[in-house]
Structure 1
Amino acid sequence: MQQINKSQLLKKFQHLMEGIPHQGNPTLLRKIYTDLYITEGGRGEVNAEHEVRQIERASWREAAQDTPIKCSDIFKALSTQDKAVRIVLTKGVAGIGKTVSVQKFILDWAEGKANQDVHFIFPLPFRELNLMKEEKLSLVDLMQHFFSETTDPTAFTTSEHRVMFIFDGLDECRLSLDFHSNLKCCDVTEPATVDVLLTNLIEGNLLPSALLWITTRPAAAGQIPPKYVKQVTEIRGFNDPQKEQYFRKRISDENLASRTITHLKSSRSLYIMCHIPFFCWILATVAERTSDGSGSVEMPRTLHTLPDHSDQHKK
């Protein structure tokens, strides 16, 4: 069953849809993926600052106190911790690469490159769980709904199996997540609402040995009580070397890639915003669509002129 799980996840996640959902072109993830700068992010406290302000002030600095973490290592306890990590909460502003990080984590596992101590991975985006808000079913039923060919009920009843659930997009959650009033559920075959199943998974009443990874924009992080979260990470986007690496991977014409990087470095505001992968994708797309084939490129020089360029060159 594990091999079926890996094969299906490999098929689903080996391609990356860049840009606007359902409008981008599929690209092999391993071909274009650029590492992101991920740090240990505190204890789950909520930053009340507006997300736009968080983006604007992020003029990329790697502080000495930052603890960088590889995406594949987010469940490894930091040296200051003496307990195994069961729940990881990963924060990041819009377009910073949370979903792509989830995709890369799953792909590395499915290809046998990392986290092979995990037997099964079940990615459950909140936008899909929202559609089952009114349903009442057991955890086993829920898994068989989403993973009909790979879900063996013994995966949840045998202590030898290490199961990981990935809940991407907490900020899109339409469930109440009422940790105070929700009924307790300890049986994977007991029917309950998806909301109850989720809160009991997080509380550790249901499958206490399961690993949970939750991603969210910063403003929604407070929906999960900090006492349940053992490790908080923050995706900070690209540092300067990673920005350049992205453009050289994303733009196949080496000369065009170099000219694009040079142009962006000449505009402080654009270069700062390039720590956001989605912003890099927009600029790379504009560069390719405005190139005349000789390597010259017509690029915006300020953030204010970027919308004109992107609208003008939409296909």
Structure 2
Amino acid sequence: MSEIVPFLCFSKIILSSLSLYSDVTDRCQRDLKASLKDEFERVSEGVAKAGKETFLDEIYTELYITEGKTTEVNDEHEVRRIEAASWIQNRSGETIRSEDIFKSRGGRSRIRTVMTMGVAGIGKTVLTQKFTLDWAEGRTNQNIQFIFPFTFRQLNVLKEEKFSLVGLINKHFKPIRDAGINDFENFQVLFILDGLDESRLSLHHDKILTDVTESTSIDVLLTNLIRGKLLPKALLWITTRPAAANKIPPDLFIMCHIPV
């Protein structure tokens, strides 16, 4: 019996550690959801002014989203008329509900990366905000444990700096930094990269990056995240205007259109 006691004690230590880690993870997720809810539950109508915000749920209108291949688009000076012309051949295809955008369909076992393409002002950003808000409020996609929304405007500012993926997440999401979580391979994570058309970053690099704690340029980090070299199990959602869709090789994503 005396030989079994140390094993039992060791087992209790492991179980206690796992329980503590689970508590930290659960608390971190709750804090992240609360933070994202505060950020996205209200939107400004027109020019942002004090007192002019309204609840997103009160004004949100479901968008008509279809899946389909990209068509050739005009990548010169963009005006709405030119962008709209690129949609003429894209009005057919499977209609997708926004909350189902990552759910398997068409015989696919898994969808990792989605690019949502639509003209300026059609609602791409609001679509990602509504998706995030619904997750934060526990309505949909609870299989996803963490959502990290970024805009390319945010990322452009960091162009001359170096970050690891963990460092980039910690910089923008305080609940993750406070919890000290960095083993994202063990979670279902969604990264949202909004506004590819505003990107001033090069997303074509040969350097392979697989370590989430290794620092590098934002360009290299995003290239490896998009290509699935870094966190290959993570989900990725990119939004863009049509003329910028060719910044990323088309074999890396599923295309979803928001027709005009």
Task: Determine if the TM-score, normalized by the shorter chain, exceeds 0.5.
Answer: yes
- Report what 1:232 is aligned to: 255
> Any residues of structure 2 matched to 1:147-162 within 5 Å, and which?
147-151=173-177, 152-159=179-186, 161-162=187-188
The correspondence for 1:190, drawn from 189, 214, 218, is: 214
- Report what 2:3 is aligned to: none
Shift of 1:158: 4.4
Using structure 2 for the length normalisation, give the TM-score: 0.81
Change (3 A) 1:76 1:46: farther
- Report what 1:10 is aligned to: 37
Shift of 1:103: 0.7
Could you give the per-residue CA deviations for residues 154-187 of structure 1, whole angstroms, max 9, x where no partner exists?
A: 353442x1011000000000111123x3x11100
- Report what 1:26 is aligned to: 53
The correspondence for 2:81, drawn from 31, 53, 74, is: 53
What is the distance in 2 between the residues matched to 1:214 and 1:170?
Answer: 7
What is the distance in 1 between the residues matched to 2:51 and 2:37?
Answer: 20
Shift of 1:54: 4.7
- Report what 1:100 is aligned to: 126
- Report what 2:164 is aligned to: 138
Q: Check conservation: 2:114, 2:256, Cα contact below 8 A.
A: yes
Supply the RMSD in Å over aligned alpha carbons. Answer: 2.5
Shift of 1:47: 1.8
The correspondence for 1:202, drawn from 223, 226, 231, is: 226
Change (3 A) 1:198 1:45: farther
What is the distance in 2 between the residues matched to 1:199 and 1:234?
Answer: 23
Q: Matched residue of 1:39: which SS? A: strand
Q: Check conservation: 1:163, 1:210, Cα contact below 8 A.
A: yes
- Report what 1:263 is aligned to: none
> Does residue 76 of structure 1 match 2:103?
yes
Change (3 A) 1:7 1:72: same
Identity %: 47
Q: Check conservation: 1:140, 1:153, Cα contact below 8 A.
A: no
Structure 1: stretches of 5+ with no match in the other structure: 238-315
Change (3 A) 1:134 1:82: same
What is the distance in 1 between the residues matched to 2:155 and 2:136?
Answer: 23
What is the distance in 1 between the residues matched to 2:89 and 2:250?
Answer: 27
Q: Matched residue of 1:164: which SS? A: strand
Structure 2: stretches of 5+ with no match in the other structure: 1-27
Using structure 1 for the length normalisation, give the TM-score: 0.67
Q: Check conservation: 2:80, 2:120, Cα contact below 8 A.
A: no
The correspondence for 1:129, drawn from 130, 133, 155, is: 155
- Report what 1:170 is aligned to: 196
- Report what 1:116 is aligned to: 142
Change (3 A) 1:103 1:67: same
Q: Matched residue of 2:175: which SS? A: coil
